[in-house]
Structure 1
């Protein structure tokens, strides 16, 4: 039974890739097959093999069986800026339908757990009228929310959860990621998030040195994601 989820965050630079890779690693430890899609990635480096994105490579390393980079990251853009602006500068037009078709190619691999990682937050634009939320709607899969623990995260998390619900999608779970180790009253903030977010907490990830998928996986719980009633069955 294949489980598929869309991974979004409360903002940019709050650890979506770190958490997604950790979830994939945790699934692999259970003997499950894994796959990932980073449909559009801005901030790519030029290599002999073409444009490559560090986040996409991190996800690729946790795919078992191995997944070709071009399948995992179909749209690679060089400038580290908003994807719709980078695409426009490259002469490309991004659409939810186009990116959904690319995701479906990975879904066809039939992995036990497949994660589609967005860019930035829930409403990052793809073009003048669509956002990455439209991709999640097109795919019609549940959402995992990565909450960056810092001042303001409660508001950002609740607004994102409301937007996901308003778009007709299920919030399957959320992960708290400690991006600000100096955050005041962190435990109180966590308690508030647990009380107000309408989904299970899949883990609280502290600042880890050295940071890696294996060390992150140790702080994550997959049971809610792998239950037969969760996700999308193939």
Structure 2
């Protein structure tokens, strides 16, 4: 049975896909067969008659086992808006059961590890009553938190960690990703986060110029996940 991790972020646009791909790449280099799963995605384009999301395509590209796109991303919506609103506009319901069935199919493959990437932050609504975090709780998935290093990230990180633990889930680790190269007092903020977060630091990713992302897995340490 594949070991599965859920990757969430302190907010949208904090580099969840970037970090998830780095984790997948590092896992492959450690000899693991990996798969990426993006249960819900908005902001999709029509490609060969099918709505596809660039983030989900990235996870598919990093996966060790060739599978149809829909197995990586069961819910794809065209507008780049909150998925529950996009689903309502498409007259579609996002089903927790269907998301779980998709993960179960991935677990039936030869994958050793599966990285599930969320959308937005921890409390992403699926409809008026359910959150994606409800599904993560149902699956009892260990969580990896991506902290986007920018003004306000300490508050966002601590509140997100509090919510994850309140839901009874294990925080397997966290990654600090510098998304704002102009952030004032970056190192002071990074040091504060390291002191306050009682979970393994899996990596600290600096601001990378275009082209530098190819070596991003070199900033990731998977050893805490191997235990």
Do the two structures share a fold, i.e. TM-score over 0.5? yes
- Is residue 2:141 matched to residue 1:137? no
Superposed displacement of residue 97, structure 1: 2.5
Residue 21 of structure 1 contacts residue 213 of structure 1 at CA under 8 Å; is this kept in 2? Answer: no
- Is residue 2:149 matched to residue 1:149? yes
Q: Distance in 1 between matches of 2:49 and 2:109?
A: 23
Residue 175 of structure 1 contacts residue 205 of structure 1 at CA under 8 Å; is this kept in 2? Answer: yes
Residue 25 of structure 1 contacts residue 213 of structure 1 at CA under 8 Å; is this kept in 2? Answer: no
Residue 205 of structure 1 contacts residue 219 of structure 1 at CA under 8 Å; is this kept in 2? Answer: yes
Tell me the alpha carbon deviations over residues 123-182 of structure 1, each in whole angstroms, 9 at most, x when there is no partner: 010011111111111211100000000010000000000000000100110000000011
- Is residue 2:14 matched to residue 1:14? yes
Q: Identify which of structures 1 and 2 has the higher relative contact order when contacts are C-alpha pairs closer than 8 Å and 6+ apart.
A: 1
Within a 5 Å distance, the mapping from 1:1-234 to structure 2 comes to 2-211=2-211, 214-227=214-227
Aligned residue for 1:114, secondary structure, equals strand
Partner of 1:231: none
Number of aligned residue pairs: 227
Tell me the alpha carbon deviations over residues 81-122 of structure 1, each in whole angstroms, 9 at most, x when there is no partner: 000000111111113222122122112224111111110000
Q: Distance in 1 between matches of 2:67 and 2:32?
A: 15
- TM-score calculated relative to the size of structure 2: 0.96
Aligned residue for 2:204, secondary structure, equals strand
Relative to 1, partners in 2 of residues 1:53 and 1:184: Cα closer, same or farther, differing over 3 Å? same
Residue 44 of structure 1 contacts residue 79 of structure 1 at CA under 8 Å; is this kept in 2? Answer: yes
Q: Distance in 1 between matches of 2:212 and 2:102?
A: 27
- TM-score calculated relative to the size of structure 1: 0.93
Unaligned ranges ≥5, structure 2: none
Q: Distance in 2 between matches of 1:23 and 1:66?
A: 18
Relative to 1, partners in 2 of residues 1:114 and 1:16: Cα closer, same or farther, differing over 3 Å? same
Unaligned ranges ≥5, structure 1: 228-234
Superposed displacement of residue 210, structure 1: 2.9
Partner of 1:232: none
Q: Distance in 2 between matches of 1:186 and 1:29?
A: 30
Relative to 1, partners in 2 of residues 1:75 and 1:169: Cα closer, same or farther, differing over 3 Å? same
Aligned residue for 1:210, secondary structure, equals coil
Report which stretch shifted further, 209-218 or 159-168: 209-218
Q: Distance in 2 between matches of 1:109 and 1:213?
A: 29
Superposed displacement of residue 49, structure 1: 4.0
